[in-house]
Each structure stands twice: as C-alpha cells, then as structure tokens.
Structure 1
Amino acid sequence: MKAAAMQAAMRALPPAPLSAIVPGRALILAPHADDESLGCGGLIAACCAAGRPPLVVIVTDGAASHPHSSAWPPSRLRARRQAEALRAVTCLGLAPEHLVFLGLADAAAPHEGPVFEQVVRHLEQLLRRHGCTTIMAPWRADPHCDHEAAWKMGVTLQRRCHAALLAYPVWGWLLPADMELDHRPPTGMLLDISPYRALKQRAIRMHESQYGHLITDDPTGFSLPPALLDALVTDYEVFVAP
C-alpha cells in the first residue's frame, strides 16, 4: 500500500467518542518532548476534561536536536525540553504528577536488549500503578528510530499487560506519497478534537526550542516543519489499531 493511500485511509477512519478510544485511563508513550502534544494533544485535553487524566511518558531526553550549539549544550537543552513538556501538558490540563521522563539518550532509544527490557519493566510498573488500560504509542511506520523504539516498547508492554494498544502517527504524515508500505488498509478511529484544537496548538508552541527561533547558533539544528504542523493541527486525531 502506498503512503498516500495509507494517509488518506487513516484520515477516513470513522469518528468515535473518547469513551470508545480510551475506555479507562491511557498511557501515552512519547519518543520526545513535543510528540505528546503533536500526536495526542487533543486526546490529553479531552481525557483531562473527562476526569481521566492520562499518564504521559517522555522516552528520550531530546538533547540531540541541536548537536552543534555551544549556547545550548546537552545538559541545558535537556532541562529546557523537560520544562517545555511540563508547560505543554499543563496547558492541556494535565497535572505534573502525570508526566514521567525516562531520560534515554535522544536518537538512541533501545529496540531490544537489556536496557529495552529494563524500560519495559519500568513501564509495566507505571501502567499498573496508574491503572492504565490503553497504551498509545507512535505509529510503526513513523520514519524515526526513537519512534520505532517507542512503538516496540508499546507492543511488548501490551503483550505483557494485556492492555489495549493504539498508534498515533506523527512523522508518518510526511512519508513520500509513492513510498510502498508493508501495511494492510488501516483500522482504527478518529477523535474529534475541535473543542481542544486551539489548546493543542498552544501546547505545541510551548516547545519553543523546536521552532528554530530560540536556538540560533546551530544551522543544522532541528526545526518543526510547517507541513508537519499542518498535518497534525486539525479537528481530528488519528488512532490506528495495530
């Protein structure tokens, strides 16, 4: 299935109420600080408004986004990205105690092995402690190593805990149209986030370090592309069944 057809099919998934997408409490795996707002900002706000705040877990420290900045070395950037994530989820209505930072190295999240196992065991403890029944993980076709790692963590966690698992696309919206994917036509649901769209946009803007204006001494540094924001700041969020 070509990427353009897959993207169109995901946009055409049936709308569903929040109670059908997250019947209980969600655990949201975000590879980096900003993915929680980009992919699930509306869901987070809706869950908080419904009195069922999710647990948001930021997997990596985000310190590799500007590797050549002298003004923002990894220690400073790491702290900045944590502060941005805290402001973003607070904007969405989430209390700080529902935000967890795993602190794994950016662009080096494990896909297997002892550290991977340690992370999954920690996630299992968090899931049970917070009573989460649904896992939200990045879509497996997102073309980023940390997104793929977080997806694998979600799959392993789901198998061990028998929770529900749904995927949210982020970078998958920017796949080349003619790229061939080894996917069947998607199943899943859309969540109407129109009541929270402006709030989601505000939360995304809290991640100032990722817009290219705050950190100006690294021309190779990361900057959120407008095309990605156009794809993600809409009236619906997409949740795909594995």
Structure 2
Amino acid sequence: MHAAAFLAAAEALPVGDLDTLAGDGGIVVAAPHPDDESLGCGGLIAEACARGRSVRVVIVSDGCGSHTHSASYPPDRLRSLRESETLEAVAALGLAPEHVRFLRLPDAHVPSEGPVAEEAAAAIAEAARDCAAGAVFVTWAHDPHCDHKASAAIVAGARLGAARLFAYPVWGWSLPEDLEVGAGPEGYRLDVTPHLPAKAAAIAAHRSQTTDLIADDPTGFRLEPAMLVRFARPHEIFIAMRPGMPS
C-alpha cells in the first residue's frame, strides 16, 4: 500500500481505549529523541497516568543532533537541557521523573542491530517487566528518520513477553505519497481530547525544539507551528506491529 493510502487508513482505524491497547497492564513508550514521547504519545501517557496505570518512558538517543553548530549549547549542555525538558514534559502529563530512562545513544546514529542495539532492547524489556506492561509503543518503522527506524527495530527485537506492540507515526506524514509501505494498517486510535491541554504543555516544555531558545545555530532544528498542528488532533494513532519485526 502507498504511504498516502496507508496513513489515510490509519486515520480511520477504530477507536479503542486504554484497555483495548494494553489490557489491564502498564505501558512503555520508547521514544527515539526527547520530544517524540510527547508528540506521538502525550495523550496516551496522560490517560494512563490519570487511570493509575504504571508508565515507563525510555528515551533512546541523547538528542544532541538538533543543534550541532551551537557554541552556547555544546553536546553535554544540550543533552542536559533536552533531558530536563523531557522531565518537565512528562510531569505535565502526570508522570514522575523516576519513571523516565535516558539511554543516551548518539543522535542520528542509533544502531538497528549489534551489541549496542541489544543493550537498548534489554533496557526496554526491563522497563516492560518493571511496569508489567500490557503494551509497548515505539515510532513507526517507516518514519523518515534513521533513529525512528532503528528504535522500531530495537523494540521489535526486545524480549517483551506477552506485551502487545504498537507503532506511532511522527514524521510519516511527510513521506512521498506513492512510497510503498506494505500491507494496510491494523490497530486503533485513542481519543485524547481530555488530555490535549496537558499534551500541548508537554510539547511546549521542549523549548529547545519549539522556540528560538538556542539562537546561535542557523541550521538548528525547530518544530514550526504548522508542523505542530498535526499533534493537536483529538486522536493518537497506534498501528499494530507484527511480532518479531517492525511494521
């Protein structure tokens, strides 16, 4: 199926609730970069926290690739900033900081396989065991970013027991319309309308990505307002992943 048709079908998936997605278990959100957790799963995290479910967030990369030419924010300082932004973001969603783990793999160089990928998979599996996860969520394998693809591969290779696997698109919407992405989607949409204010606050907490906070890197990344409209919609999309392989 071509990307345009796939994503249109994803936007028409049946609406499910947290029980549909995760049964009565907890959830793990694996995010390639600090901010993906809020963009793709902010409403999900807020819903799980509001319902008293155990939630774990695993940030895979160090996020240092967003502003590689900034003198005021060299890598160590940028990493610290992005981690503090993430903790502020998840707090807006109702999650305590001790439930976030930063793996600090190199931004734009997260491996899909090999010893480092296996260690990341083990960390995600540990998070799943820690919260008795009924479901694990990671970025869509067709998202046009190498770290998003790698994170999907890492989760697909993790030993997650009976936990269900779901993919959430972040940048898939920018794919060429005629790109082949495989069979049509299965999965669910989650109504996050009650949590949109919290989700907006979480996204805004990532100031290094949404404002001119880092002003000395003209090549730096920024989430423009027009891009953020996509993440203010009333449903979040979760595509069922086939066991053992990214979808």
TM range (shorter): over 0.9
Given that residues 31 and 139 in structure 2 are in contact (C-alpha distance below 8 angstroms), is that contact kept between their aligned partners in structure 1?
yes
Q: For the residues of structure 2 that align with 1:132 and 1:226, how far apart are their CA atoms?
A: 34
Is 1:196 paired with 2:195?
yes
One-letter amino acid of the structure 2 residue matched with residue 164 of structure 1: R
Secondary structure at the aligned position of 2:143 is classed as coil
Aligned to 2:245: none
TM-score (structure 1 length as normaliser) = 0.95
- 1:241 corresponds in structure 2 to 240
Offset of residue 162 of structure 1: 3.5
Aligned partner of 2:12 in structure 1 is 12
- Whole-Å Cα distance in 2 between the matches of residues 15 and 103 of structure 1? 34
Structure 1 residue runs of 4 or more that deviate by more than 4 Å after TM superposition: none
Q: For 1:137, what is the secondary structure of its paired residue?
A: strand
Instruction: Tell me by how many angstroms 1:161 deviates.
Output: 2.6
Deviation at 1:212, TM superposition (A): 4.1
Matched, 1:115 2:116: yes
User: Does structure 2 retain, via aligned residues, the 8 Å contact 1:212–1:222?
Assistant: no
State the distance in 2 between where 1:228 and 1:184 align: 27
Matched residues in 1 for 2:26 and 2:185: separation?
24
| Residue segments in structure 2 that go unaligned for 5+ positions in a row | 242-247
Q: Distance in 1 between matches of 2:123 and 2:190?
A: 29
Q: Are residues 1:173 and 2:136 paired? A: no
Asked if the contact 2:30/2:137 (under 8 Å) is kept, the reply is yes
Task: Report the counterpart of residue 147 of structure 1 in structure 2.
Answer: 148
Determine helix, strand or coil for the equivalent of 1:157: coil
Report which stretch shifted further, 109-118 or 124-133.
124-133
Q: What residue in structure 2 maps to residue 220 of structure 1? A: 219
- Tell me how far apart the structure 2 counterparts of residues 103 and 132 of structure 1 sit (CA, whole Å): 23
Q: Give the aligned partner of residue 59 of structure 2.
A: 58
The whole-number CA distance in structure 2 between the counterparts of 1:154 and 1:116 is 9
* CA positional deviation for 1:241: 0.7
Paired positions, count: 240
Aligned equivalents of 1:175 and 1:197: distance in 2?
26
Residue 22 of structure 2 contacts residue 133 of structure 2 at CA under 8 Å; is this kept in 1?
Answer: no
Alignment TM-score, normalising by the size of structure 2: 0.93
Equivalent residue for 2:2? 2
What is the CA RMSD across the aligned residues, in angstroms?
1.3
CA deviation string 1:187-238 (max 9, x = no partner): 1100000000111011100000012410111110101133431112110000
Supply the AA of the counterpart residue of 1:53.
S
Q: Give the secondary structure class of the aligned counterpart of 1:161.
A: coil
Q: Does 1:211 align with 2:210?
A: yes
Distance 1:225 1:148 in 2: 23
- CA deviation profile, 1:72-118 (whole Å, cap 9, x unmatched): 10011000000000000000000111111111111111111111112
